[in-house]
Structure 1
Amino acid sequence: MGRIVFDENLVDLAPVFKDRRDAGRKLGTFLKKLDLVPDLIFAIPAGGVPVALEACKTLRSKMDLIIVKKVLYPWTTEAGFGAVSSLDFEVADVGLPEEVVKRQIEAALERVREREKLFRKGRPYPDLTGLKVCAIDDGIAAGYTMRVAVRSLKKLGAEEVWACAPTSSASGAEAVAQVADLVVILNLRTYYPFAVADAYENWYDLSDEEVLELLGEAEAEGCLIN
């Protein structure tokens, strides 16, 4: 089980960050202070991209993308009971019929494939053998998405995978620590209910177009690997 590191001065506070970019700069500074500079950062789109971009600038690191999507309940577009990448998946037993679960997994996987084409331009994931890498999202709630991201990166050969986010529920951080070598959080929250958005003064869902613009900025800044 990985260690959980967090900023004791930010426990149970909200809001904490102006926006995702502000959170990324602060996360990068926190990682640098801990002398944690990964060989490569993997952003989880969409919300993790601006966070990872600013962290990369601060750490003078390089970034790539790991595409993960929530497996949604069939009656909602928000709440999920698992997550999937092209390399790994995880679902909780929530009492749904097996055929419904399979259908929801396939729907999420189709969205993963679409995003891999759109954001990664169909590039294969790199060989990470011997590397210490960091997965970054804008927050961790239940932890499904980050757990799948971590296991996916390990399947690519990473020596260590750190799970990093500006904000997390305590239970989510603990769930991720079961699969990650290290979990780094700025704003850990122990109370319920938990919402990632509460950590941000300015919060909204990023469009695909905005993500592409951010990736263009990352490439221009020399942050994005080819």
Structure 2
Amino acid sequence: MFRDRLDAARQLARRLDHLRGQNPLVLAIPRGGVPMGRVIADALEGELDVVLVRKIGAPGNPEFAIGAVSEDGSVHLEEEAHYCRDDILAREVERQRELIDERRRRYTPVRSPIDPAGRIVVVLDDGSATGATMAAALATLRQREPQRLVAAIGVAPPDTVARLETLADEVVCLEAPPHFRAVGQFFAEFGQVEDDEVVALLGGSHQ
């Protein structure tokens, strides 16, 4: 168990030390990944930005991902999404797209997203249950032609790690326990990260 997100971030930074000095672009998945991203970007002498993807939750169980929406508008659906009514799914996709647009305006109002083309890119989150959100982020970023695409996560079940290994050039996952219920169970402290904190953390990066 990690003490908190910063504990996990320091451990990930040590595992990613081979990227230090290569100006990696750390793209954190908000909101929980952003405090970790600040620690890792500073440790690796890189830049920090966010990659905006939103989970599509199952009707009646919003924490269970049946897909994800990326900032470029693309929709990535899991097999379970086929059991969801088309109209309900369409409404949820549109809602998540609106939230992505709102977050981009709030998080980086005075600059464009940092271009990942030709860069070593580290996609970061505190943890991943189904892998839907991280997979959507990796698939979207791959189209932007990074030099190298790395997935970094604190904790995920083994099948999720195996799935991400097919999408990234390198996967760094600190813990892959077979008995996995939720990301938060592996953190002694797992408080919610607020938007104001995300904005402040991003303000210390690329200008």
Both proteins in one fold, TM over 0.5: yes
Q: Partner letter of residue 225 of structure 1?
A: H
- Aligned ranges 1:71-86 → 2 under 5 Å: 71-86=56-71
- Matched residue of 2:190: which SS? coil
Selected match of 1:144 from 100, 121, 132: 132
- Aligned ranges 1:30-179 → 2 under 5 Å: 30-32=15-17, 35-37=18-20, 39-87=24-72, 88-94=74-80, 95-121=83-109, 123-179=111-167
Selected match of 1:198 from 185, 189, 194: 185
Coordinate RMSD, CA, aligned? 1.7
Q: Partner letter of residue 206 of structure 2?
A: I
Q: Partner letter of residue 79 of structure 2?
A: D
Q: Deviations over 1:107-160 (max 9, x none)?
A: 111111111111122743333332211100111110011111112222222122
Q: Is the 8 A contact 1:29 1:59 kept in 2?
A: no
The alpha carbon displacement at 1:178 in A equals 1.8
Shift >4 Å, 4+ stretches? none
Mark the runs of 5 or more structure 2 residues left unpaired by the alignment: none
Aligned partners of 1:121 and 1:80: how far apart in 2?
A: 29
- Matched residue of 1:202: which SS? coil
Aligned partners of 1:57 and 1:125: how far apart in 2?
A: 18
Q: Is the 8 A contact 1:116 1:122 kept in 2?
A: no
Aligned partners of 1:142 and 1:84: how far apart in 2?
A: 15
Aligned partners of 2:146 and 2:176: how far apart in 1?
A: 26
Q: Partner letter of residue 195 of structure 1?
A: A
| Change beyond 3 A, Cα 1:81–1:28 | same
Equivalent in the alignment of 1:7: none
Mark the runs of 5 or more structure 1 residues left unpaired by the alignment: 1-14
Q: Is the 8 A contact 1:143 1:172 kept in 2?
A: yes
Q: Partner letter of residue 56 of structure 2?
A: V
- Aligned ranges 1:15-26 → 2 under 5 Å: 15=1, 17-26=2-11
Selected match of 1:213 from 184, 189, 200: 200
Asked whether 1:225 is paired with 2:193, we answer no
How many aligned residue pairs are there?
202
Aligned partners of 1:23 and 1:83: how far apart in 2?
A: 24
Q: Partner letter of residue 188 of structure 1?
A: A
| Change beyond 3 A, Cα 1:46–1:72 | same
Aligned partners of 1:92 and 1:205: how far apart in 2?
A: 26
Aligned partners of 1:128 and 1:195: how far apart in 2?
A: 30
- The TM-score normalised by the length of structure 1 is 0.83
Aligned partners of 1:123 and 1:152: how far apart in 2?
A: 20
- Matched residue of 1:127: which SS? coil
| Change beyond 3 A, Cα 1:145–1:48 | same
Q: Partner letter of residue 109 of structure 2?
A: K
